[in-house]
């Protein structure tokens, strides 16, 4: 199901779908122009059909003198600063994410103070063309952001692509797939920049790369170029760019490999958050949690946890098995009640471990989305056994001690950074949740409505709305609070 609430703009004659006048991308472009920020989109503007509607990254080179205004504009538009995972970014490059509420998408801005090319976890290169790129920047007739002179953009693109050649390309039977898209971009730029303009720019601005070497670099991007020749030309280029080399830390490559094994999105520089998503059965908690994870998880470090059904520990399995056996053998009701109470205590311990995991994840800048977080106003839905009237038949000093310990587990659980309550009337909940008994669903909806959520600052969301509207409201409130 699409989460977009509004239609997209129609494509113009060139095939480019222009962003809506009130889209976040369009507002950013207008704000940069009105404040006189010195910047340019130094790569990627040939793929406007992607980033124009928030589907791709937007790479902006910003003059240092304009950085304060640039950061102020981003903050005013609701952008958040994120830290790139270790080994995945060069110095002088920052990441910002903003929410386009019209589409429900995240817009990703790569903001560069220094022009860096090459893989950051390997030797990469700072190309001293920032001043000239910015000085040549102009806003095209159908553009959103200023772009640099085509000959300068062509130079940077060719150098960037040649650095992507790898030694193991000699083992490939076919050229790398990324070359197909690169050729389209090269053709577009070469229609606007003559060889003479490129040669003049190289001689004046980057004499380390001779026109002859540049021609060889360009030829290495042709599909028919042998892989060995590509690798050789890359070595020649890296030798020419040696004065501009920046070597990563000793552990950068290992960190990169680890992120391949255990992928993780970017962390918010301002810190992460634990988000509790509460509500009765049929309110759409799981559906909304999955939608939020899909939305955030494509870019940011995101974790989805269900504290109502936490992963069971060995102790929980053992006690649960003993309880089933005692019931099957029809043992003493008192024993069964004590085992039932012991199982709820073990579940509380499982929830406490999951709560610890959520807060540790948020401390590292991630966003933990937690279903059925056991907050005191909602203990009747998910909480200590005595608050739910469970295992009340267990009466002994041991049972009293267990209940005291269990209540302590829940009382020590920290309050989440943000709490959402999906409010739904009982009869609508019954119609939606047909997999559970109607009386059970109705009662849980009534308990949700009766709880005093104001004491924990919960945000109430009307879950009777269509799903796209509920998700849109959650996105807007969540993003505003991060």
Can you give the C-alpha Rg of the chain in angstroms? 29
Structure confidence at residue 250 (pLDDT): 60
Structure confidence at residue 183 (pLDDT): 85
For residues 27-45, average pLDDT: 91
C-alpha distances in Å from residue 35, one per residue of 4, 24, 182: 31, 16, 34
Structure confidence at residue 181 (pLDDT): 77
Q: Above 50 in pLDDT, residue 32?
A: yes
Q: Above 90 in pLDDT, residue 8?
A: no
Structure confidence at residue 43 (pLDDT): 87
Confidence tier at 124 by pLDDT (50, 70, 90):
confident
Cα separation of 201 and 197, whole Å? 6
Q: Is the pTM of this model over 0.95?
A: no
Structure confidence at residue 4 (pLDDT): 34
C-alpha distances in Å from residue 98, one per residue of 75, 76, 80, 396, 436: 9, 10, 6, 56, 39
Structure confidence at residue 33 (pLDDT): 94
Confidence tier at 3 by pLDDT (50, 70, 90):
very low
Structure confidence at residue 229 (pLDDT): 92
For residues 419-426, average pLDDT: 94
Confidence tier at 174 by pLDDT (50, 70, 90):
confident
> How do residues 44-87 score in pLDDT, each as one tens digit?
776 766 666 656 789 999 999 999 999 999 999 999 999 876 55
What are the b/e assignments for 405-437, b being 16+ CB within 10 Å? ebbebbeebeebbbbbbbbbebeebbebbeeee
Q: Above 80 in pLDDT, residue 11?
A: no
Confidence tier at 16 by pLDDT (50, 70, 90):
very low
Structure confidence at residue 49 (pLDDT): 65
> How do residues 256-281 score in pLDDT, each as one tens digit?
665 655 567 888 988 899 999 999 99
Structure confidence at residue 223 (pLDDT): 83
Quick check: 292 and 106 in contact, CB under 8 A? no
Structure confidence at residue 279 (pLDDT): 93
Domains with residue ranges and CATH for the chain = 24-261 (no CATH), 269-481 (3.40.50.300)
Structure confidence at residue 85 (pLDDT): 63
> Of 5-14, 179-188, 349-358, where does the model show the most confidence?
349-358
C-alpha neighbours within 13 Å on the C-beta side of residue 454:
2
Confidence tier at 23 by pLDDT (50, 70, 90):
confident
> How do residues 196-231 score in pLDDT, each as one tens digit?
999 999 999 999 999 999 999 999 998 888 889 999
Question: HEC string of 269-320?
Answer: CCCCEEEEEEECCCCCHHHHHHHHHHHHHCCECEEEEECCCCCCCHHHHHHH
Structure confidence at residue 10 (pLDDT): 39
Average pLDDT, the chain: 87
Structure confidence at residue 255 (pLDDT): 62
């Amino acid at each position: 199901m699409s989460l977009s609430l509004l239609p997209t703009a129609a494509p113009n004659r060139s095939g480019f779908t222009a962003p809506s006048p009130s889209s976040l991308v369009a507002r950013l472009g207008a704000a940069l122009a009105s404040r006189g920020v010195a910047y340019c989109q130094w790569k990627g503007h040939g793929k406007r059909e992607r980033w124009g509607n928030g589907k791709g990254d937007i790479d902006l080179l910003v003059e240092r003198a304009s950085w304060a205004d640039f950061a102020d504009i981003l903050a005013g538009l609701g952008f958040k600063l994120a830290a790139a995972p270790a080994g995945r970014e060069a110095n002088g490059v920052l990441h910002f994410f903003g929410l386009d509420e019209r589409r429900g998408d995240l817009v990703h801005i790569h903001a560069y103070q220094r022009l860096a090319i090459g893989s950051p976890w390997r030797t990469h290169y700072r190309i001293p063309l920032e001043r000239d790129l910015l000085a040549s920047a102009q806003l095209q007739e159908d553009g959103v952001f200023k772009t640099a002179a085509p000959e300068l953009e062509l130079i940077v693109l060719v150098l960037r692509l040649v650095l992507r050649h790898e030694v193991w390309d000699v083992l490939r039977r076919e050229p790398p797939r990324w070359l197909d898209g690169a050729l389209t971009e090269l053709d577009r730029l070469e229609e606007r920049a003559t060889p003479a303009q490129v040669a003049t720019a190289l001689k004046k601005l980057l004499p380390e790369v001779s026109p002859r070497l540049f021609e060889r670099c360009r030829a290495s991007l042709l599909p028919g170029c042998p892989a060995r020749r590509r690798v050789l030309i890359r070595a020649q280029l890296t030798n020419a760019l040696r004065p501009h080399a920046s070597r990563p830390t000793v552990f950068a490559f290992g960190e990169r490999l680890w992120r391949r094994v255990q992928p993780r999105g970017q962390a918010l520089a301002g810190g992460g958050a634990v988000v509790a998503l509460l509500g009765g059965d049929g309110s759409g908690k799981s559906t909304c949690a999955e939608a939020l994870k899909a939305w955030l998880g494509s870019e940011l470090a995101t974790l989805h946890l269900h504290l109502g059904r936490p992963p069971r520990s060995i102790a929980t399995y053992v006690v649960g098995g003993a309880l089933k056996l005692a019931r099957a053998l029809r043992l003493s009701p008192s024993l069964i009640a004590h085992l039932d109470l012991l199982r709820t205590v073990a579940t509380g311990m499982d929830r406490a471990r999951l709560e610890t995991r959520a807060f540790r994840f948020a401390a590292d800048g991630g966003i933990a989305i937690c279903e059925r977080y056991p907050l005191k106003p909602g203990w009747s839905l998910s909480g200590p056994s005595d608050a739910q009237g469970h295992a009340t038949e267990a009466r002994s000093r041991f049972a009293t001690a267990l209940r005291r310990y269990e209540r302590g587990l829940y009382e020590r659980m920290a309050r989440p950074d943000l709490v959402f309550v999906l409010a739904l009337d009982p009869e609508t909940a019954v119609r939606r949740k047909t997999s559970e008994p109607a009386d059970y669903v109705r009662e849980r909806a009534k308990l949700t409505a009766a709880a005093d959520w104001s004491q924990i600052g919960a945000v109430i969301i009307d879950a009777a709305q269509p799903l796209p509207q509920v998700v849109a409201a959650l996105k807007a409130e969540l993003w505003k609070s991060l």
